[in-house]
Amino acid sequence: MIDDAPLIKLKKNPPRPGNAQIEALRGTPTGFVVDALYGGGAMDYRIKPSVAGQSDFCGVAVTCQAGPADNLAVLAALPQVRPDDVIVAATDAYYGTAVVGDLVMQMAKNRGAVALVTDGCVRDTPGIAHVGLPCFAAGVTPNSPAKNGPGTVNLPVVVGGVAVEAGDMLVGDVDGVVVIPFAKIDAVIARLDDVRAAEAKTLAAVEGGLGVPGHIEELYKSGRVEEID
């Protein structure tokens, strides 16, 4: 007789950034983080805040693979959530049902989560607004999911076209969500000073009247612009 397959596969004790790393990234605009990652790392543009005005977060990924029309893995992820964590729920980009609503969001907040991110849909947005926890999703639908599994917790997932592993850092704001792989956290933090300095320098020049970037002026002088009458 074959035993029943496990409903949830769980990775215990994934790596975790230190408090100093989390604090170094807190409040950083997603655009700066992308620049520090050399231009990548953002999830699909459709994954946006479900509630206007509730977007900014910085935290550590707790991943779960729920699959379409099911949220057992999201519920199974709750015991793994610690303060400053972000639940990252993969649904295979399924939009037919919600993966969470306000009650699960409140439970996540009670556990110390700072956000939830999913490539699926959510529901109960007035309740989510009341909870006050940033919730990023691809859409909203009142349809409810099953709780049957199978699923995974703290194993690798892909959300919005970006691979996410437990222990990675996520930064979100009104522009979207950026993933910082665990192995690159320190490098990104180190580059952010240069990114901020370059941004400040360019901003000052633009506000001072700059209309054409210097490298575009040099391009025009280089002879590599072909003019056609």
DSSP letters spanning the chain: -PPPPPSEEE--S-----HHHHHHHTT--HHHHHHHTTS--BPPTT-EESSTT---EEEEEEEEE--TTB-HHHHHHGGG--TTEEEEEE-SS--SSEEE-HHHHHHHHHHT--EEEESSEE--HHHHHHHT--EEESEE--PPPB----EEESS-EEETTEEE-TT-EEEEETTEEEEE-GGGHHHHHHHHHHHHHHHHHHHHHHHTT--S-HHHHHHHHTT------
- Does 200 fall in a domain? no
pLDDT at site 2: 73
**Would you say 136 and 52 are in contact if contact means Cβ atoms under 8 Å apart?**
no
Token pair belonging to 60: 């550590």
pLDDT at site 3: 81
Question: What are residue 166's phi and psi, to 5 degrees?
Answer: -55, 130
pLDDT at site 92: 97
Q: What is the mean pLDDT of the chain?
A: 97
- Does 136 fall in a domain? yes
Q: Residue 1: pLDDT band by 50, 70, 90 thresholds?
A: low
**Which pLDDT tens digit goes with each residue over 76-93?**
999 999 999 999 999 999
- Does 137 fall in a domain? yes
Average pLDDT (50-55) is 97
Average pLDDT (189-209) is 97
Buried/exposed code over 23-62 (b: 16+ C-beta within 10 A; e: otherwise): ebbeebbbebbbbbbeeebbbeeebbbbbeebbbbbbbbb
**Which pLDDT tens digit goes with each residue over 55-72?**
999 999 999 999 999 999
Cβ neighbours, 10 Å, residue 224: 8
- Does 12 fall in a domain? yes
pLDDT at site 5: 86
- Does 225 fall in a domain? no
Q: What percent of the chain has pLDDT over 70?
A: 100
- Does 66 fall in a domain? yes
- Does 201 fall in a domain? no
Domain with residue 165: its CATH number is 3.50.30.40
- Does 110 fall in a domain? yes
**Which pLDDT tens digit goes with each residue over 145-195?**
999 999 999 999 999 999 999 999 999 999 999 999 999 999 999 999 999
Average pLDDT (126-155) is 98
pLDDT at site 4: 84
Q: Domain of residue 90: give its range.
A: 8-190
pTM: 0.95
Domains contained in the chain, number:
1
More confident residue, 105 or 3: 105
